Chains A and B, each alone.
Chain A
Amino acid sequence: MKALVWHGKEDIRCDQVSDPEIEDPRDAIVKVTSCAICGSDLHLFHNFIPAMLPGDIMGHEMMGEVMEVGSAAKGKLKVGDRIVVPFTIICGECDQCKRGNFSVCERTNRKKELASKVFGHPTAGLFGYTHLTGGYPGGQAEYLRVPFADATHIKVPDSLKDEQVLFLGDIFPTGWQAAVQCDIEPTDTVAIWGCGPVGQMAIRSAVLLGAKQVVAIDCIPERLSMAEAGGAITINFEEESVVGRLNDLTSGKGPEKCIDAIGLEAHVTPTQPDTLLDRAKQMVMLESDRPHVLREMIYVCRTAGTISIPGVYGGLVDKFPMGLAMNKGLTFRMGQTHVNRWTDDLLRRIEEGQIDPSFVITHTVRLEDGPEMYKVFRDKQDSCVKVVLKP
């Protein structure tokens, strides 16, 4: 089969690979009908997240048709079922899964020893996302083996198109969880850094959850236009002061809720000198992540406010203003998304027409065009916001 394979920094190829096989009675094989390139795939593309190996198949946003089911998964899945595959692999039985903390499932990371050494305790297995999270082959491929398939799936009705439900596997619940973690009240201003796909979903989620005003921060005009269409007030950080404008919009008090939908690769610009220093340190491996957004959020957030972090961080950050955070009494909520905790509710909202996540798709191409689209997406060329691949 064909698959997008990581061969090194900025080197993704559409390779011919062997077909996946069922290894465990709980496995299933899925014929992928749609998959997407996620913003966090770019962290792997840039080799900022450790423990990728040449030959790893990319992709953690995918859906398709069940082709083969292991004996232990037959009660929950059957051949022909149409499913979205959540990016977090879950057993559904461990203590964390029972609490709904699916992204820290205790059983599905098959490289627990490695993960324990790095993280202290292992997190869940993830598709196409380094050997620290199990080294499971990803879904930017024609076929995918889904481990723990009896729990790791979201069944979707035939009445909805792939484009409407594909993002239930990652960016939609990620944006939703980011907003839910803020416990938005009708008097709240929610500021969201980053208008990429997750930021766009967080904007819509904050609107649905009834924030008084949603403010979106970015510097890419097409992304800002999409944010504005979703009901956000926009700030172009290359044209105006983020802190000044946010304070103006909140009578000088700052936003109650701040969401970081950027993560470890904050935009590097001379207008924000700390980003230049971070980039230089990152280049010589003195720092793994560029935390400009965290610093700005902590500074501008209202006292006793909440900071929600769906953006991916990979390791170590410098100059983290812990003193500000402590003295202001800020609450931090973060983590990989507990996808299945939210998907029944979100699927219902899509079916009822409250939201249609397909608005974010700007490019639909063949799987073979994937390597070039990584470049286009990374360089933000051709007004690219979200790429869907059709194997």
Chain B
Amino acid sequence: MIAFSRLSGIARSKGDPKVLRTGPSSLGGADRLARGLGWFSIGLGLTELLAPRLITRAVGLRGREGLVRAFGVRELGHGVLSLSVDKQAGLWSRVAGDVLDIVAVLPALSPANRKHGNAELALIMLLGVTVLDVLAAQGVSARHRRPPTGWRSYSDRSGFPQGAERARGAARRDFQTASDTQAPPAIAPGVA
């Protein structure tokens, strides 16, 4: 990361401070995991979209290329959402997507499928990824959750040392609105 900071130094002047040593980040471990899973989704989504036969052939599900392509589009959606500020939604959408993936691979576990060994391996991988997704989603949700209760009341913070009532209209006595922000005056009396 410091390399990027140094590279961007070409956009700075000689008196501007330059990064010498990086410190702790606002990104937590759960955020970084979410980012990693987001990029994984993008990679997997592109593979499913562009080379579905690789996948159907590997697990013995020939003829299901259309479904794999659709899953690819869905996976890209998970990726974009997981890489966004709303990463909790992205990660939970990945969990839902994992369930769909597992359901889709179940028919390939039939002993009649010559590639059922590969399908079993795919299922194990899917279960592992699901566990990782659930852990990441829980971690990110916990890190960024705003507790629904326990908020502090600031009802004693008026900002007016002499009281809110005394403040009302206090600036009207000595503040002249500049001509560039004045509303046009009424052309008849008694307008409210």
* Chain A contacts to B: CB under 8 angstroms: 1-3, 5, 7-23, 27, 45-46, 53-57, 100, 110, 131, 135-137, 141, 145, 180-183, 185-187, 200, 204-205, 207-210, 220-223, 225-226, 228-231, 268, 279, 283-284, 306, 331, 333, 345, 349, 353-357, 359-360, 362, 368, 371-372, 374-375, 379-381, 383, 385
For residue B32, which residue of chain A has the nearest CB? A11
CA distance A354 to B155 in the complex (A): 18
Which among B1, B5, B15 is the interface contact of A145 at CB below 8 angstroms? B15
CA distance A186 to B192 in the complex (A): 9
Which among A12, A100, A222 is the interface contact of B154 at CB below 8 angstroms? A222
Contact yes or no, A231 B17, CB < 8 A:
no
- 3 smallest A-B Cβ distances: which pairs? A210-B169, A55-B5, A359-B159
Which among A9, A23, A100, A225 is the interface contact of B178 at CB below 8 angstroms? A100
CA distance A7 to B80 in the complex (A): 20
Chain B 176-192 interface 0/1 with A at a Cβ cutoff of 8 Å (1 = within) = 01100111000000001
For residue A51, which residue of chain B has the nearest CB? B11
Give me 14 A-to-B residue pairs in the complex whose CB atoms sit less than 8 angstroms apart, sorted by A's number: A3-B17, A13-B22, A14-B23, A15-B23, A23-B14, A55-B8, A180-B181, A183-B182, A185-B183, A187-B192, A205-B171, A210-B172, A356-B159, A371-B24
Known: A200-B159, A222-B152. Contact between A10 and B11, CB under 8 A?
Answer: no
Contact yes or no, A17 B170, CB < 8 A:
no
Residues of the B chain whose Cβ atoms lie less than 8 Å from the Cβ of A57: 17
CA distance A308 to B2 in the complex (A): 41
Residues of the B chain whose Cβ atoms lie less than 8 Å from the Cβ of A357: 159
Known: A55-B8, A183-B181, A230-B160. Contact between A375 and B23, CB under 8 A?
Answer: no
CA distance A131 to B13 in the complex (A): 12
Counting residue pairs across A and B whose Cβ atoms lie within 8 Å, the total is: 213
CB distance from B38 to the nearest CB of A (A): 11
Question: Among residues 107 to 160 in chain B, which have CB atoms less than 8 Å away from a CB atom of chain A?
Answer: 143-147, 151-160
Known: A131-B11, A368-B23. Contact between A18 and B17, CB under 8 A?
Answer: yes
Contact yes or no, B169 A371, CB < 8 A:
no
Which of the segments B46-54, B62-70, B81-89, B95-103 contacts the partner chain?
Answer: B81-89
CA distance A229 to B154 in the complex (A): 7
Which among A53, A145, A222, A381 is the interface contact of B153 at CB below 8 angstroms? A222
* Chain B contacts to A: CB under 8 angstroms: 1, 4-9, 11-28, 31, 80-81, 84-86, 143-147, 151-162, 164, 167-172, 175, 177-178, 181-183, 192
Contact yes or no, B8 A18, CB < 8 A:
no
CB distance from B36 to the nearest CB of A (A): 14
Contact yes or no, A381 B146, CB < 8 A:
yes
CB distance from A231 to the nearest CB of B (A): 4
Contact yes or no, B159 A21, CB < 8 A:
no
CA distance A239 to B12 in the complex (A): 48
Contact yes or no, A354 B171, CB < 8 A:
yes
Which among A17, A372, A385 is the interface contact of B18 at CB below 8 angstroms? A17
CA distance A210 to B28 in the complex (A): 46
CA distance A381 to B26 in the complex (A): 14
Contact yes or no, B15 A359, CB < 8 A:
no
Contact yes or no, B4 A306, CB < 8 A:
no
Residues of the A chain whose Cβ atoms lie less than 8 Å from the Cβ of B17: 1, 3, 17-20, 57, 137, 141
